[in-house]
Amino acid sequence: MPKTSSAYLSFIGLSLVIFAAHVLARSLWHMEFWSSIMLQSYGVNVGLGLILIALAHRLLRGHWPEIKQDGATSSAEFSSFFVPYLGCLLFELRFLSKRLNAL
């Protein structure tokens, strides 16, 4: 199975496990089994995740020869990718949190 197909299946599988755990927790806490907002939220997040996997696969294919070129990932190579990634992720989470709290 190609790596991309495996990534899609792993992501969907993990999403289903998280969804099942979420539904179980809601039922154990005597909350509504599920709501339309919960289903919409999972749908949007899983859809965006699949789009990001596709974009990462397409954009990073063959464009990162300097990373792990020697067979090992140095701390400089690691930080070159993950520092901007973490910064953007934290900004996005903060932005979404503020927007959702304003509703």
Average pLDDT over residues 27-49: 88
Task: Identify the pLDDT of residue 32.
Answer: 84
Q: How many domains does the chain have?
A: 2
Task: Identify the pLDDT of residue 19.
Answer: 94
Q: Is residue 100 part of a domain?
A: yes
Together in a domain, 38 and 78: no
Q: Is residue 7 part of a domain?
A: yes
Task: Identify the pLDDT of residue 24.
Answer: 92
Task: Identify the pLDDT of residue 50.
Answer: 93
3-state secondary structure the chain: CCHHHHHHHHHHHHHHHHHHHHHHHHHHCCCCCCCHHHHHHHHHHHHHHHHHHHHHHHHHCCCCCCCCCCCCCCHHHHHHHHHHHHHHHHHHHHHHHHHHHHC
% of the chain exceeding 70 in pLDDT: 86
Parent domain of 102: 74-103
Residues 34/38/42/45 CA torsion (nearest 10 deg): -170
Task: Identify the pLDDT of residue 68.
Answer: 62
Together in a domain, 83 and 45: no
Q: Is residue 35 part of a domain?
A: yes
